[in-house]
Structure 1
Amino acid sequence: MALTRSFDTVLSAVGATICISILAWAVSNSETAMLDSTGIVLYYLIPGGLAVGFCASLALSQTIRILYILLVSAVAGGLYMTELYLVQYKPIENSVTIAAKLAGRPVDPRSRLEVVEQMRQLEPQTFPLMTQLGFMWSARKAEISGGNWPLTIKGRQVGAIGTVALANIVQCNESGSYVMYKSDRFGFNNPDYVWDMKQIDSIMVGDSFGLGNCVPLQQQIANQLRGKGVGTINLSGAPAGPLSYLAALQEYAVMMQPETVIWLYYENDLVDLAEEKKFNAYMERTITNQPVGLIQHQTAIDKSIRELVEKEILEFRMTETTEKPRKKNKSSIMDFLLLRTIRNELQLYFRKPGHDFQLFKRTLSQANMLIKSWGGRLLFVSLPNSARYLQAPFWFRNDTWVRNRVLNIVKSLGVDSLDIDPVFARHPNPHELMYFPGSHYSGKGYEIVAESILKAVSPNSTNLKSNRERKHDQ
């Protein structure tokens, strides 16, 4: 009996020590400083409560102490057994495959690299998508590994906004089939003739949603607008954020001076803005309106992207032969202890990023002033997270506060805005608008966005043209 009493006392003391250690780590770790309410519960309240329970059990009867230990051990054991199963035995089938099978769509099992390599046998000028932030990340990695920054113009390190010109670009696969497009003369997702049009009604900037991920060309927003008679040039890229949108306007839109600039905002744009901030020279040059004339250096841009892409492909081949989902996930011990696989399965992300709303406001204000300088109009289009409509866990939809604050900033700047959230919310079957929680929109979703933009743009085209003509007459 004495041995039993000693053993359960030791277990309670060890449990209290572990919980207190976790709590101390959370308090001292800067990464937990921006947790939302869910993160606070998981990192602070649960270990703190368990520590209090273990300490209190030391002063209670042996029966209560043993019951408490058994309860905590059963819950913890269940979680770690589930983690072990997910890591070692569960076939990893991604959301694309699951959604496609449920909808009865065929699934292309190839990786993007395999698609690129097979396409190159027929079309040598085929590349995986690399624009804007993707270029910056790859360029930084090349620089860190001992190389030079791949694109320098007028003595400045610059980033590419478009991709390789007049090439076949392998985009993405979320429906079960890969999407590809032929880039225009400046590396954007447009038919090349748009740059020769006499009248440009609109220019669109945005991230992957503006680029058209991951639907066929005819279903993408810019192509739908062109199909309705709105002459549109698409300067979107992926991944990209607000600074990239502003840079695209400074480098390319100024030359065309469209009547309307369509700024597509998605709910992760401020996360991308935080990434863009890491490239200090790029940020400073963009925010102070110092374009470098990218439009005149497409040959250098093409060369730099080709070099980066080939390096990325070579590195990928050296580390693994395929991107296909593997049956076993080689998680580290720390990943296992932190239950990373369970958290990924549940989309349990609860860290609240340190959004720079002031920089966002300054960026949007700069864009608005630039567009007004040629008599144009800025239309800010807020695109909602697809998870909001597909009964995703609440922690995957807890960014409403960010969206609301962004829309308040837009309003304070006097910028016209279009919120797609209530439009989607009225749809009787949200599952038709996207493939799965966190995916891009389906063709139907993009169609609704395009129709909403068309209604917002068309009534103003004549007025804007008249304003510009009156300004010219004066």
Structure 2
Amino acid sequence: MTKAINLVLGIFILFAGWQFSESIVKFHAYRDYANASLCLLFFSVAVVLAFSLNRSPNFKRNLVGFLISLSGSVLIVELSLGFLVSTADLDQQRRMIAARNDIDFDVRDRFEVVENFRRRGERYYPTVHPGSFLNRYLMVNGKPVLPLSGIAGVKTLMCNESGTYVDYFSDEYGFNNPTGSWSAPVIDAVFVGDSFTQGNCVFKAEGFVDRVREHLSHTLNLGIGGNGPLIELATLEEYLTEKRLRYVFWMYYEGNDLKELWEEKSDALLGRYLAEKPFSQNIVANKDAINRELTAFVEKRFQERKGLQQLEIMPKGPLELLRLPNIKAHLKNSAAAFSKKEAMEEFDLVVLREILAKAKLFVQGRGGELVFVYLPEFGRYNDQRSSGAIMKEKMIELVRGLGVNVLDMDLAFRRFPNPRVFFPFELPGHYNAEGNRMIAAEIKGYLLKAEASGQAAAGKISWQRAAGS
């Protein structure tokens, strides 16, 4: 009997150790709080169970009974979450809806997609987020640098929310622009923002920046996923100092921009863009050296993850249930929501006001107009508004108080009976092609109105009519 009990305890120890290794793999890949907590939990369980092997037979018998009962309860919860399709796993919901509508859905993760393209001999990289380098800079020529773009001149993978992965070929600075976009001395339209601006999850030519570019060839997209207001200010000051500008559209996403700013405030280097005048990392002058270091960093992380994935001792398949994917997804989602709530409670709008005021002066100093574009989240149309969404009226009042014009895309979306149709499968995420078309139309309407009123910034802009428009 004692041998049987020890065998069962050994199985539980191996299970805890396996879960620990799985969590380590995910933590190294995503550096998130949820997987760090799971690492600590399963490591502690494995250690406690290992020490219990030396306890009395009666203690071990009771412990095994408790563990079996607990395991049964955990599996019931896992199955229940899977049956209910928890909102924590949006990918699962998208796949189910796609299947019901006979839509092919690529189930690979981004790592697998990058790896598959590389096997064909292509230079293929994932999107790089500047926010990933907060307080842990690249060292370039012996100096710390916070990169503000992705890797330049490579095929760059974004995301998949509609069934197919989307990518683009990055420009000479690492942004989502066609080759030659930077050559004009005067830029008609500049867009700064996060992944919504970058064009996440929609095909080339479907994003709102690309749709505006159909009519204004001198258009720049400086959006990168995960960017918040302070990184966006830094991007303007690093890349546009030598340009004349006409319109700069500050694309503000209510879902997480304030949270991003709360995190950016902790970075000493970023803070210098707000506190010092002038301040520059000389990114344009050192772009080649920065790009080399950034490429090497991303390549190293990619190879690390590739090696870590080989540590997975249980393949995906019928035993996938033991990975507890639904419980982990729910915990990760809950941790992210808690983090966002805590951040918002501590946030002070004074910093955002300073950022926008400085951005306005920067744009005006180059002959242009700053326009604030308010981008709504899905939760606004699903009775699940985030803390940022709740602050909408206060935010718009702050911006207008600076003398900056506001384009409220929530009002545009609400002209339709069901604004959720502007999101893939009517689920939380980025805007689909129709949502991007709506935003582009509103921006074009603003520009046409400004031109007609004779109040156009920095002179007339040159419209070109796109085919089929």
Question: Same fold judged by TM-score > 0.5?
Answer: yes
Q: For 1:374, give the aligned amino acid.
A: R
Instruction: Answer yes or no: is 1:125 the counterpart of 2:98.
Output: no
**In the TM superposition, what is the alpha-carbon distance from 1:275 to its structure 2 partner?**
1.5
In the alignment, the residues of structure 2 paired with residue 161 and residue 432 of structure 1 have an alpha-carbon distance, to the nearest angstrom, of 33
1: CA distance, partners of 2:422 / 2:82: 34
Matched, 1:212 2:199: yes
Structure 1: unaligned runs, 5 residues or longer: 1-78, 141-148, 470-474
Structure-1 residue corresponding to 2:14: none
Secondary structure at 1:295 match in 2: coil
Contact persistence 1:270–1:356 (CA under 8 A)? no
Q: Out of 353, 367, 388, which is 2:359 matched to?
A: 367
Question: Cα 1:132–1:201, aligned 2, differ >3 Å: closer, same or farther?
Answer: same
Cα–Cα, structure 1 residues 178 and 468, in superposed 2: closer, same or farther, change >3 Å? closer
Match for residue 447 of structure 2 among 457, 462, 470: 457
Report SS of the residue matched to 1:202. Answer: strand
Cα distance, 1:404–1:324 mapped onto 2, change above 3 Å: farther
Q: Report the Cα offset of residue 466 of structure 1.
A: 5.8
Which whole-Å deviations, capped at 9, do the CAs of 1:113-165 have from their partners, x for residues lacking one?
1111221234532110003213x15x72xxxxxxxx42446x65221111111
Match of 2:77 among 78, 83, 101: 83
Unmatched tracts of structure 2, length 5 or more: 1-72, 462-469
1:193 and 1:303 map into 2 onto residues whose CA distance is 21
8 Å Cα contact 1:214-1:440 kept in structure 2: yes
Other structure's SS at 1:296 match:
coil
Q: Which moved more, 1:123-132 or 1:85-94?
A: 85-94
Among 170, 173, 177, the alignment partner of 1:186 is 173
Q: CA deviation at 1:450?
A: 0.7
Q: What residue is the counterpart of 1:387 in the other structure?
A: 379
Aligned mate of 1:167, from 131, 154, 157: 154
Q: In the alignment, which residue of structure 1 is the partner of 2:98?
A: 100
Residue 340 to residue 122, structure 1, CA distance change in 2 (3 Å): closer
Question: Where does residue 297 of structure 1 map in the other structure?
Answer: 286
2:295 is equivalent to residue 306 of structure 1? yes
Question: How big is each residue's C-alpha offset from its partner over 1:325-367, in whole Å with a ceiling of 9 and x where there is no partner?
Answer: 99347579xx98xx98389499975835222311111111110
Matched with 2:232 is: 245
Give 1:385 deviation, angstroms.
0.3
Cα offset, 1:306, TM superposition: 1.3
Distance 1:279 1:300 in 2: 22
Structure 1 residues 82 and 183, CA gap change in structure 2 (3 angstroms):
same
Q: Which one-letter code corresponds to 1:210 in the other structure?
A: T
- Residue 283 of structure 1 deviates from its aligned partner by 1.8
Query: What one-letter code is carried by the residue in structure 1 that aligns with 2:269?
Result: A
State percent identity of aligned pairs. 27
Deviation at 1:81, TM superposition (A): 7.9
Shift of 1:97: 1.9
- Distance in structure 2 (CA, Å) of the matches to 1:420 and 1:324: 42
SS at match of 1:407: helix
Give TM-score, length-normalised by structure 2: 0.71
2:303 and 2:386 mapped to 1: Cα distance? 38
The residue matched to 1:271 in structure 2 has which SS? helix
Indicate yes or no: 2:406 matched with 1:413: no
**How far apart are the structure 1 equivalents of 2:191 and 2:316?**
34
Counterpart Cα distance in 2 of 1:412 and 1:372 = 17
SS in 2 for 1:195: coil
Q: Which residue of 2 aligns with 1:358?
A: 350
One-letter amino acid matched to 1:433? F
Match in the other structure for 1:177 = 164
Q: Match for residue 54 of structure 2?
A: none
Residue 198 of structure 1: how far off its partner (Å): 5.0
Spell out the pairing of 1:12-161 with structure 2 (5 A cutoff): 83-86=77-80, 94-134=92-132, 136=133, 140=136, 149-152=137-140, 156-161=143-148
**Counterpart amino acid of residue 79 in structure 2:** Y
Change (3 A) 1:424 1:95: same
Pair 231,310 (structure 1): closer, same or farther in 2 beyond 3 Å:
same
Q: Would the aligned equivalents of 1:205 and 1:264 in 2 still touch at CA under 8 Å? A: yes
2:434 partner amino acid: K
**Structure 2 residue 411 is the aligned partner of structure 1 residue 426:** no
SS of the residue 2:105 aligns to: coil
Tell me the secondary structure at the aligned position of residue 173 of structure 2.
coil
Whether the 8 Å CA contact 1:261–1:371 is kept in 2: the answer is yes
Q: What is aligned with 2:250?
A: 263
Residue 221 of structure 1 and its aligned partner are, at CA, apart by 1.3
Change in Cα spacing, 1:328 to 1:82, as seen in structure 2 (3 Å) is closer
Q: Could you say if the C-alpha distance between residues 397 and 363 of structure 1 is closer, same or farther in structure 2, counting changes exceeding 3 Å? A: closer
**Is the 1:109–1:324 contact (alpha carbons within 8 Å) kept by the matching residues of 2?**
no
Larger Rg: 1
Q: 2:384 & 2:184 partners in 1: Cα distance? A: 46
- The two structures, once aligned, show a CA RMSD in angstroms of 3.5
Shift of 1:180: 0.5
Instruction: Report the equivalent of 1:195.
Output: 182
Q: Which amino acid aligns with 1:278?
A: S
Q: TM-score, normalised by structure 1?
A: 0.71
